[in-house]
């Protein structure tokens, strides 16, 4: 249990004060599903985060694809933006260190609930939740 708490604390510390930027900025929150051990159970649970769970498709993507823009320095970036890239690179490393078989699940159309989840040391799903807006 102590190892699980360390993973949670490490992920929370790495994501603290970070805002995921899409067409809006949204914080990242630690989330854990302690009673869910299969991906099928997880998908059913994630659909409960939508008002229209029957009509909304749950999409998945890789961690690399999801973080691509957040971890890429652009030529026009100022100091603060470059610091954010470093923080997101660190967050990605912390997630990969603490979670296995990480997938990014997106639920919604324009405004999407996003879950960055993998298996923790006790075999349940944990990670981060945020919101992105894509038009």
Spans of all domains in the chain: 2-133
2-133 — its CATH code?
A: 3.40.1460.10
| pLDDT, tens digit, 9 for 90 and up, residues 40-70 | 999 889 888 876 655 678 899 999 999 998 8
- pTM for this prediction: 0.89
Give the 3-state secondary structure of the chain: CHHHHHHHHHHHHHHCCCEEECCCEEECEEEEECCCCCHHHHHHHHHHHCCCCCCCCEEEECHHHHHCCCCCCCCCCCHHHHHHHHHHHHHHHHHHHHCEEEEEEEEECCEEEEEEEEECCCCCEEEEEEEEECC
User: For 77-128, how does the pLDDT look when each residue is reduced to its tens digit (9 = 90+)?
Assistant: 788 888 888 999 999 999 999 999 999 999 988 889 999 999 998 899 999 9
């Amino acid at each position: 249990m102590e190892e699980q708490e360390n993973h949670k604390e490490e992920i929370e510390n790495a994501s603290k004060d970070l805002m995921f930027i899409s067409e809006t900025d949204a914080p990242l929150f630690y989330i854990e599903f302690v009673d869910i051990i299969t991906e099928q159970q997880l998908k059913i649970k994630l659909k409960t985060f939508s008002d229209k769970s029957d009509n909304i498709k749950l999409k998945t993507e890789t961690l690399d694809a999801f973080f691509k823009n957040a971890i890429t320095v652009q030529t026009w970036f100022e100091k603060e933006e470059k610091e954010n890239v470093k923080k997101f690179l660190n967050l990605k490393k912390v997630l990969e260190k603490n979670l296995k078989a990480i997938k990014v699940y997106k639920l919604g159309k324009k405004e999407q609930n996003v879950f960055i989840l993998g298996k923790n040391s006790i075999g349940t799903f944990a990670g981060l939740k945020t919101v992105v807006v894509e038009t």
